[in-house]
Amino acid sequence: MPTKITVNNNGSLRVEGDFVIEDEFGNRFDLAGRTRVTLCRCGQSSKKPFCDSTHKKVGFRSEVTAFALEPPDEKKLAQSP
């Protein structure tokens, strides 16, 4: 199943499908066989990068509707490592 990411209004990012999550050093988080996790958007979770529902306690608000991104800047793409 391809990876699907859902932006939950006033909440987390839900990630479903076939995926891995790594820290900046390439170490993988042990997802214990999960094919669905939620990632924190509010920055207040005690289990970052995963959501622990703290957003409900701190009143996090962010409503998002899908939109089209601008095309990538080809100059910047050519310069990136």
Q: What is the pLDDT of residues 30-77, one digit of tens each?
A: 999 999 999 999 999 999 999 999 999 999 999 999 999 999 888 777
Residue scoring higher pLDDT (76 or 3): 3
* Total tally of structural domains belonging to the chain: 1
Task: State the pLDDT confidence band at 78, using cuts at 50, 70 and 90.
Answer: confident
Supply the pLDDT for residue 42: 98
Q: Which two tokens stand for residue 65?
A: 């509707």
58: domain range?
A: 1-81
CA 14 to chain centre: 7
Q: Which two tokens stand for residue 4?
A: 């699907």
Question: What is the DSSP-derived secondary structure letter of residue 25?
Answer: T
Q: Which two tokens stand for residue 25?
A: 């050093």
For residue 44, give the CATH number of its domain. 3.40.5.90
The alpha carbon torsion through 24, 4, 13, 74 (nearest 10 deg) reads 60
> pTM of the entire structure?
0.86
d(CA 41, CA 61): 10
